[in-house]
Amino acid sequence: MKLNLDFTGRHVLVTGAASGIGRVTANAFAAAGAESLWLVDLDEAGLAAAAAEIGPRAQTFAADVSQVASHQALAARVAEAGTPLDALFLNAGIFYPTPLADAPEAGYDKLFAVNVKGLFFGLQALLPHVRDGASVVLCSSVAAQYVLPGYSVYSATKAAVNAYARQWAHELAPRRIRVNSLSPGPIETPIFAKLGLPQEQLDGFMGSLGQMVLLGRVGRSEEVAAAVLFLCSDLASYITGIDLPVDGGYLAF
Ligand code: NAD
């Protein structure tokens, strides 16, 4: 049995590719030989920097994943390229607290629009351009199962992501397209700085997250990327409809 994570000749799409987990994962696909990479994000400067790291195999598409029209435009570009997708990592997401007592409606709607609706209409638009036998990985979170006080809406969006993976695994099985979700534990990325906390409070928050993990530390994006590549590779050819925690033992705590 040949055990490798070779993506030579494969065409890959990553959303949320301008930063954090998505950017590192796009780089990992490139290092594993992917022939072309679509990098999708609304952060144009970050996208340009991510594409520069990869070189000419990377194509950028600036889009807000909460907008259905963005996905249709992206699908048209992928169709034009004429190379159906072999692996999709639908990873773009946002994270902030929504206390039950006073969280505003707009914050609620945005979390669901980006983290949930964006996945549905993204995959719907791209499906005609996905190769039979391809692999789709949805980025969920341990928050789907574990209580993070004050983050109930984020948690609910990620529970929806887990449900999508199981449902779509069924719907797409006739085309042998595998669909799985992956749940990172706390991973050191720019997502936490976006909370706007003072540095001292942010350090305290990250430290407390690290202590909630069996391995005693927050994780690195590279550790998530390795699991994404595994799920998208031929090594995972008999895995569909699961949620894979990549959490240093957070859920086992
Ligand atoms: P990040 O903020 O570094 O990266 C997220 C990327 O998504 C950014 O480049 C951002 O511009 C993009 N994005 C946000 N909204 C978008 C939109 N509407 N349209 C297009 N792109 C958009 O964060 P990250 O930590 O790398 O998070 C990636 C995924 O991992 C998210 O789905 C997040 O919920 C999930 N996750 C992260 C952690 C963690 O600890 N970092 C833990 C569990 C799950």
- Report DSSP letters for 217-230, one per residue: S-B-HHHHHHHHHH
Query: What is residue 60's predicted lDDT score, i.e. its pLDDT?
Result: 98
- CB distance 160 to ligand 1 below 6 Å: no
| 5 in a structural domain | no
The dihedral over CA atoms of 165, 169, 175, 177, expressed in degrees to the nearest 10, equals 50
Q: Which atom of ligand 1 is nearest to the CA of 113?
A: 18
Number of domains into which the chain is organized: 1
Query: What is residue 2's predicted lDDT score, i.e. its pLDDT?
Result: 73
Residues identified as active-site: 154
Q: Rounded to the nearest whole angstrom, what is the distance from the C-alpha of residue 163 to the centroid of ligand 1?
A: 19
Q: Whose CA is nearest to atom 6 of ligand 1?
A: 16
Report whether 247 contacts 185 (CB < 8 A). Answer: yes
| 250 in a structural domain | no
Q: How far apart are CA 38 and CA 58, in angstroms?
A: 6
Query: What is residue 31's predicted lDDT score, i.e. its pLDDT?
Result: 98
Domain with 178, as residue range(s), is 11-245
Burial of 122 (0-12, 13-18, 19+ CB in 10 A): buried
- CB distance 209 to ligand 1 below 6 Å: no
Query: What is residue 54's predicted lDDT score, i.e. its pLDDT?
Result: 98
Query: What is residue 178's predicted lDDT score, i.e. its pLDDT?
Result: 98
Report whether 137 contacts 232 (CB < 8 A). Answer: yes
Of 176, 87, 68, nearest to 129 by C-alpha is: 87
Q: Rounded to the nearest whole angstrom, what is the distance from the C-alpha of residue 102 to the centroid of ligand 1?
A: 24
| 193 in a structural domain | yes
Domain containing residue 231: CATH number: 3.40.50.720
Q: How far apart are CA 51 and CA 109, in angstroms?
A: 31
| 161 in a structural domain | yes
- Dig out the tokens for 141 from the structure: 């979170």
Cα-flanking dihedrals φ and ψ of residue 220, to 5°? -110, 150
- Name the E strands within 4-129: 11-15, 36-41, 58-62, 85-90
Determine the residue of 23, 71, 116, 189 to mutate for testing ligand 1's pocket, defined as the one with the most ligand atoms within 8 A of the Cβ atom.
189
Distances (CA, A) of 238 to 135, 166, 177, 215, 232: 11, 14, 11, 28, 11
- Cα 248 versus chain centre, distance: 18
| 173 in a structural domain | yes
Query: What is residue 88's predicted lDDT score, i.e. its pLDDT?
Result: 99
Q: What angle do CA 118, 123, 127 make, to 5 degrees?
A: 160
36-60 per-residue burial string, b: 16 or more CB within 10 A, e: under 16: bbbbbbbbeebbeebbeebeeebbb
pLDDT of the chain, 253 residues: tens digit per residue: 777 799 999 999 999 999 999 999 999 999 999 999 999 999 999 999 999 999 999 999 999 999 999 999 999 999 999 999 999 999 999 999 999 999 999 999 999 999 999 999 999 999 999 999 999 999 999 999 998 999 999 999 999 999 999 999 999 999 999 999 999 999 999 999 999 999 999 999 999 999 999 999 999 999 999 999 999 999 999 999 999 999 999 999 8
Task: Record the pTM.
Answer: 0.98
Matching residue, tokens 């397209």? 177
| 251 in a structural domain | no
| 92 in a structural domain | yes
| 205 in a structural domain | yes
